[in-house]
Amino acid sequence: MDTTAPAPDTQPVLPRDEWVKTLPQTIVASCVLFLDAEDRMLLLRYAGGQPGAGLWGLPGGMLDHGEDPVAAACREVCEETGIVLDGPPRLIGYDHRADVKDTGPVIDFYFYGGRLPGEPSVRRSAEHDDDGLFALAGLGSVRLSTPLPALTALHSAALTGTVVCLREGRPQ
Mind listing the pLDDT tens digit of every residue in the chain (172 residues)? 666 666 667 667 889 998 888 888 889 999 999 999 999 999 999 999 998 999 999 999 999 999 999 999 999 999 999 999 989 999 999 999 988 778 789 999 999 999 998 887 899 999 999 999 999 999 999 999 999 999 999 999 999 999 999 999 999 9
Are the CB atoms for 112 and 158 separated by under 8 Å? yes
What pLDDT was estimated at residue 75? 97
At 54, which CATH number? 3.90.79.10
Q: Domain of 66?
A: 23-171
In a domain, 8, yes or no: no
The DSSP secondary-structure symbol of 144 reads B
In a domain, 10, yes or no: no
Q: How far is CA 110 from CA 38, 54, 74, 102, in A?
A: 20, 21, 12, 22
